[in-house]
Amino acid sequence: MSDIITNILVCGTGGQGVMTAAEILAQTAITKGFDCKKSEVAGMAQRGGVVTSHVRFGKRVWSPVITPGTADILVAFEVAEGSRWADMLRPGGIAMVNTIRLVPPIVSIGLFKYPDDPVAQMRAAGVTVYDFDAGALARDLGDLKLINTIMLGAIADFLPFPATELEEQIVGRFRERKPAMVEANRRAFEAGRAAARARAGQDQPLAATL
């Protein structure tokens, strides 16, 4: 095993499933024999606030937090949250962004403004962004709860273990408790992978590889 540490920052808003996604990534990493730490600050964030989860894995992980400027992958469940944490990426890191816009009350009443195009903002600053509407994909698959699996599928080809390992970790959770959801999650995972590949093929020739 190399000494390289993989840093993944998952972000979104309270109730979106950020912590579950991070948990699945961390579980996959320890199944593969990596040392792993996963860190988040919950508390008041669960009330609709900003949520981030840091996942770090490798041969030996010391600090549980990702140092700004060293994240390999930013997984954003919400587009403005993606821009909020974009500075955490290392040069050449990638941002996988769900384009949903969740407008909080203080924006909707006019105290603050939601940025017109957070993805364009990030790209203008040189960030490699793969953006797609995970909500629309989930709706097509018939269940909005699949967003989580779609987002994990989208980063699956950028990880230091085969995509199937991550898929198995997700599907394994449903096999015993909700076998009916196994197929739906497999399709969602593949849809996420396909969406990321499609974005990489379109307008981002500089796609980063880890």
Partner 1 sequence: MSAAVQAKPQSRLLLSGNDAIARGAWEAGVKIATAYPGTPSTEMLESLSLYPDLYAEWSVNEKVALEVAIGGSMSGARSFCAMKHVGLNVASDAFMTVTVAGVVGGLVIAVADDVGMSSSQNEQDSRFWGRFAHVPVLEPADSQEAYEMVKYAFELSETYNTPVILRLTTRVCHVKAVVQVGERSPIEITGFKSDSSRWVMTPGNAKGRLPAQIAREGKLRTLAESSPLNFLDPGSDRRVGFVASGPSYMHVRESFPDAPVLKLGFTYPVPVALVEQLAAQVDHVVVVEETEPLMEHDLKAAGLGQIHGKDLLPRLGELTPNILIPAIKGFLGDPIPPTTTYPKFEPFPRPPTMCAACPHMGIYYSLARMRKKVQISGDIGCYTLGAGHPWNALDTTISMGASMGIALGMDKARSEETKDKAVVAVIGDSTFLHMGMQGLLDIVYNRGNVTVLLLDNRTTGMTGGQNHAGTGKGLRGDDTPRVDFAKLVEALGVPSERIRKIDPYQLPVVFKTIKQETETPGVSVIITDQPCVLSEFYVKIKPYKVIDDDCTGCGNCINVGCPAITVRKSETKTRPDGKINELKFTTIDTAMCTGCHMCVESCGPKAIVQIQRAAATPGEQI
Query: Does the footprint of partner 1 cover residue 164 (CB under 8 A)?
Result: no
What is the spatial distance between Cα 23 and Cα 58, in angstroms, rounded to a whole number? Answer: 16
Query: Does the footprint of partner 1 cover residue 26 (CB under 8 A)?
Result: yes
Judge residue 160's burial from the number of C-beta atoms within 10 Å of its C-beta, 0-12 exposed, 13-18 middle, 19 or more buried.
middle
Letters for 111-140 (x = contact with partner 1 by CB under 8 A, - = none) are xxxxx--x--xx--xxx-------------
Nearer to partner 1, 107 or 136 (CB): 107
Position 152: which residue type? L
Asked if 184 and 140 touch (Cβ cutoff 8 Å), the reply is no
Nearer to partner 1, 4 or 198 (CB): 4
Letters for 75-114 (x = contact with partner 1 by CB under 8 A, - = none) are -----xx-xx-xxxxxx-----------xxxxxxxxxxxx
Beta strand 6-13 pairing with 50-58: antiparallel
Query: Does the footprint of partner 1 cover residue 172 (CB under 8 A)?
Result: no
Nearer to partner 1, 110 or 205 (CB): 110
Asked if 115 and 121 touch (Cβ cutoff 8 Å), the reply is yes
- Half-sphere exposure of residue 141, counting CA atoms within 13 Å on the CB side? 26
Beta strand 89-98 pairing with 71-76: parallel
Query: Does the footprint of partner 1 cover residue 206 (CB under 8 A)?
Result: no
Query: Does the footprint of partner 1 cover residue 40 (CB under 8 A)?
Result: yes
Nearer to partner 1, 86 or 159 (CB): 86
Partners of 75 in the beta sheet? 10, 96
Q: Which residues bind partner 1 (CB under 8 A)?
A: 13-14, 23, 26-27, 30, 35-50, 61-65, 67-69, 80-81, 83-84, 86-91, 103-115, 118, 121-122, 125-127
